[in-house]
Amino acid sequence: MNPERVAQCALLAMLFELSSSPKPGNVDRCHDFSDIGFHHFLTSAVSAYPVFRKAANGRGSVGSLILEGVEAWQTWFLSSNTHFGSLVLMIPLAIAATKPGELHRELRRVLEKTTVIDAIDFYSAFEKAKARVAEVDSFSLNDRNWQETVQESGKTLLELMRLSSKHDIVAREWSTNYERSFRLAERLVEQISRWGQNDGVVRTFLEALAEVPDSLICAKFGEETAQRVSLRAGEALLDDTLGKAHELDLSLLAEDINPGSTADLIAASLFISLLRGLRF
Amino acid sequence: MNPERVAQCALLAMLFELSSSPKPGNVDRCHDFSDIGFHHFLTSAVSAYPVFRKAANGRGSVGSLILEGVEAWQTWFLSSNTHFGSLVLMIPLAIAATKPGELHRELRRVLEKTTVIDAIDFYSAFEKAKARVAEVDSFSLNDRNWQETVQESGKTLLELMRLSSKHDIVAREWSTNYERSFRLAERLVEQISRWGQNDGVVRTFLEALAEVPDSLICAKFGEETAQRVSLRAGEALLDDTLGKAHELDLSLLAEDINPGSTADLIAASLFISLLRGLRF
């Protein structure tokens, strides 16, 4: 696949994830947050296009490209964290997509090639994106000298991700060579062929949320809340009309609970499906 | 502005136009048509990105780029007409956007430079897009030998547009150097600053529809229906909550009446606003 098409698949993955509705608790096609709207997410996704193309062209390293992605959305005056987790998952996929071998295998090579420089760039991006403050073992952004600390540790970005893999969905994907993303990519194809594009994405999102509590919810509200949300996502799946998903959506919005990590996972899965020729 | 940024503005213009809701009678953020969904429009918009960048890079002529735009969306297996009118209005703007002079003046030069080859490419694109059959004076797509007829006439694309300017909103823009698009671009900025992004776009759309009956509605349902819709759009504007716009939306959807030409005009106006630095 040529780099331009890879970038289009990446952007569409972000846009499809964003648009599917009701995607309980997240900005979707039918509602905004008070501080950040659908159009901000559209802008953030579009701003990443040249970065994905560059990645697919084999230029730039993983960490620097994630940093460029965050800087790109900031040139549009977006100050909130819009797509940080999605970038972290999707940049390595974009790099792998134009390599000669099978996607999943090439991805492993991309992750294993990351260096300590990637780790430092990742942390810079993390800080710029105002993502949730990471407390990774001894590597904390609360440490003013985090750059030195990371540098001295000599840890690669993949090694850092392994340290966070227990409590962060995105880091877990890195640590397991995207085991869930690839599995969910297959589910997406099945669900979309059964339920259509929108409901197929929503149902796969609910499945993912039911399966593993969302790490962004955990970080903000604790494990118990995250588990309760997962339980309700599972119940919502039993309803063919998605009526219960609507109810869950309203109640999460009221409590300002958003399963953002699961959304990042679904964006990555959609990207994989599109790279593999998903029709819709 | 660099070509990449021009392409991003073009894509965002299409996405903002598409997403604003309620945009009576059109696919928007909250409803699909039965045969073509929101995600099809997302795909069509994304597929045009490299074509806009190419235009902004000064490569390709107007007609060939419009044709490329249609062919690009067809590589994603989209068979319906999604963004034909928008491409016809926005490609010349993308070409003009990177020229040294003022946008509106450069646009005139771009339109005036079109040739008979652009006219032929335009007609090919029109046919491929399955747009409404044009009956332009003696130039009809029902004529099997239209290509020869156009060639022999020696008419440039701009001259052909002038022939259609009475009964087609898009052609009228070409003939008047985008007089309405530029005026609506200013209205967009005012309305967005007053009502916010979504409602600002919706209200400018309603104003445009109230001002001039939609030519796609005219072509499908006749002038009387188009005028009735415009009257209702004007009434909907009087309601600050957009409740009447919602009602109009539901009733147009029920009758399958869609003001698609006005939507194209708003996409072009959004593009102009974004090129001129619209913040949101």
What architecture is domain A3-193+263-275? Orthogonal Bundle (1.10)
| Residue A2 at interface with chain B, using a CB cutoff of 8 Å | no
Task: pLDDT band for B141, please (50, 70, 90 cuts).
Answer: low
Summarised one tens digit per residue, pLDDT across range A138-195 is 666 667 788 888 899 899 999 999 998 988 999 999 999 999 999 999 999 999 999 9
Q: Which residues between 64 and 83 in chain B have a beta carbon less than 8 angstroms from any beta carbon of chain A?
A: 77
| Residue A1 at interface with chain B, using a CB cutoff of 8 Å | no
> In the structure encoding, which two tokens stand for residue B115, read together?
């040739």
Residues 6+ apart with CB under 8 A from B251: none
Q: Looking at chain A, which residue has its C-alpha nearest residue B51?
A: A4
C-alpha R_g of chain B: 18
Residue carrying structure tokens 């009447």: B244
Work out the average pLDDT over B216-220: 90
Q: Which residues between 160 and 199 in chain A have a beta carbon less than 8 angstroms from any beta carbon of chain B?
A: 197-198
A78 interaction partners in chain B (CB closer than 8 Å): none
Residue of A27, A34, A41, A46 to mutate, interface with B, max B Cβ within 10 Å? A46
Length of chain A: 280
Summarised one tens digit per residue, pLDDT across range B22-42 is 889 887 667 666 678 889 999
Does the pLDDT of residue A29 top 90, yes or no? Answer: no
Round to whole Å and give the CA distance between A231 and A214.
11
B30 interaction partners in chain A (CB closer than 8 Å): 29-30
| CB–CB contact B46 A19 (8 Å) | no
Fold category of B3-193+266-275 in CATH: Triphosphoribosyl-dephospho-CoA protein (1.10.4200)
Total Cβ atoms within 10 A of residue A169: 25
Dihedral sign of CA atoms A61, A64, A67, A73 in order: negative
Round to whole Å and give the CA distance between B197 and B193.
8
Helices (H), chain A: 3-19, 38-47, 49-56, 62-74, 84-97, 103-112, 116-128, 146-153, 157-164, 169-175, 179-195, 197-211, 215-221, 223-237, 243-255, 260-275
Min Cα–Cα distance to chain A from B236, Å: 21
Min Cα–Cα distance to chain A from B238, Å: 24
A32 interaction partners in chain B (CB closer than 8 Å): 198
Single pTM value for the model: 0.95
For residue A26, what pLDDT is reported?
Answer: 82
Summarised one tens digit per residue, pLDDT across range B221-276 is 999 999 999 999 999 999 888 999 999 999 998 898 999 999 999 999 999 999 99
Round to whole Å and give the CA distance between B126 and B128.
6
- What is this model's ipTM? 0.94
> In the structure encoding, which two tokens stand for residue A155, read together?
């840890």
Q: Looking at chain A, which residue has its C-alpha nearest residue B5?
A: A47
Domain spans, chain A? 3-193+263-275
B49 interaction partners in chain A (CB closer than 8 Å): 8, 11, 49
